[in-house]
Structure 1
Amino acid sequence: MTTDPNPAPRAPAGPPHASPLGPLVPASADLADYLAADEVIDHDHPEIRALAARLRRTDRVATARALFEYVRDEIDHSADVDHWSGAYRASDVLARRNGICHAKAHLLAALLRAEGIPAGICYQKLEVLHGLNGIHFEETGQWVRLDPRGNKGGADAHFATEPAEERTAWANDPDAGNFHYPTVHPTPPADLRAALAEARVGERGYGHLPREL
């Protein structure tokens, strides 16, 4: 896998507004890259656009919250229901209403982009590589982690609009080598996309995934 150029094994000390999970920086300086549709984050799909429009609220922050909570709470995580869809393309995840963490992050990114809210994918090193989202809030100019994995089995992720408020599904255990990578990717790295494509319907577990970037 491609090595992240700025690994962050521990959250550095910083100002009060800094994330407790470490810095978060975009891989691209062009926000347009975080609004684009591609083969994984296919927000040009009519079903994604229709759902995004249905969940739209009166302002961008409220819309982002509604989209996040929908993916977190209404799309099953495969492990929670022991039904493994193998889906990772955003439109397929929506159609099957089921996927692993990476799949749910791809769907959330697509829904946010459909509403003109820049969003990308970021990662956490756990026993396997965990996928979540980085979202750019125009109101503050900051990137914030959101984790739509689903709050079952001890997971406890919540919506945040400031880095200091970030709360992802799983806490880091530094003794186990856990940490959040700092980079927000516009789309999953090519090697990870190839690994995700190895999943098959009904195939349990995460054996197809890399352990780290």
Structure 2
Amino acid sequence: MKLYLDSSPYIDTQHPNIVARAAELADGCADEEEIAKRCFEFVRDEIKHSWDYRLNPVTCKASEVLIHGTGYCYAKSHLLAALLRANGIPAGLCYQRLTIDGNEAPFCLHGLNAVYLQQYGWYRIDARGNKPDVNADFCPPLEKLAFPIVNPLEQDLPGIWSEPLPVVVKALTEHQTVEQVYNHLPDVDCQNHKF
């Protein structure tokens, strides 16, 4: 579990702003589940999804997402992991491979989280941000993700990562605007990729 509690360059749990916001979100909570729900709802509802709002700058580090109040799904998952870890709750990163528009290629990765709750074990949550056709929620043990897998070509990538996939970091650090990221969304070839 240590890997899922560690601070790192992109999940910078020990950044003063992360530490302060994590403590604020945990204040008055009765247990880890309530803390996790509060952290989830904060990232889902208060941090704007970069593409939905066409907001720059492009963020990647958890602290950048918090400071600028915006991030793509991947960056938002980095912030949620950092807030949970700062509260001593193990958290990791998960990915789905989804079609971008419709029922065929091209594909892209979608970033979300898994949190370890004593009562349930690993539980996936998706703080991407709700909108008319997206309604993710925190209701363990039931998963209510932003994008259920409905297309046979789409899939949940196996595993829970302690660190972001390199292809995700590359997309978020090598492009200067949300439009550039959108035109270069990260993807992996699941047939030839070892997870």
TM-score, structure 2 as length reference: 0.86
> Across the two proteins, how many residue pairs are aligned to each other?
179
**Aligned equivalents of 1:181, 1:202: Cα separation in 2:** 24
Partner SS, residue 95 of structure 2: strand
The corresponding residue for 1:196 is: 172
Counterpart residue identity of residue 171, structure 1 = P
Gaps (5+ residues) in structure 2? 100-107, 190-195
1:79 and 2:56 matched: no
Whether the aligned pair in 2 keeps the contact of 1:102 and 1:131 (CA below 8 Å) is yes
The corresponding residue for 1:170 is: 147
Counterpart residue identity of residue 133, structure 1 = N
1:130 and 2:106 matched: no
Matches within 5 A, 1:51-70: 51-56=21-26, 57-70=29-42
**Aligned equivalents of 2:78, 2:139: Cα separation in 1:** 18
The corresponding residue for 1:186 is: 162
Counterpart residue identity of residue 186, structure 2 = P
**Aligned equivalents of 2:122, 2:139: Cα separation in 1:** 10
Identify which of structures 1 and 2 has the higher relative contact order when contacts are C-alpha pairs closer than 8 Å and 6+ apart.
1
Matches within 5 A, 1:19-34: 31-34=1-4
* Superposition deviation, residue 132 in structure 1: 0.2
Whether the aligned pair in 1 keeps the contact of 2:74 and 2:168 (CA below 8 Å) is no
The corresponding residue for 1:46 is: 16
Counterpart residue identity of residue 90, structure 1 = A
Counterpart residue identity of residue 183, structure 1 = G
Counterpart residue identity of residue 32, structure 1 = K
Counterpart residue identity of residue 19, structure 2 = R
Partner SS, residue 30 of structure 2: coil
Q: Hey, which of these two has a bigger chunk of strand by percent?
A: 2
The corresponding residue for 2:188 is: 212
TM-score, structure 1 as length reference: 0.79
Partner SS, residue 195 of structure 1: helix
Superposed CA deviations along residues 168-201 of structure 1, whole A, max 9, x for unmatched, are 10122224x1111121000112333223211214
Counterpart residue identity of residue 211, structure 1 = D
Match of 1:37 among 1, 4, 7: 7
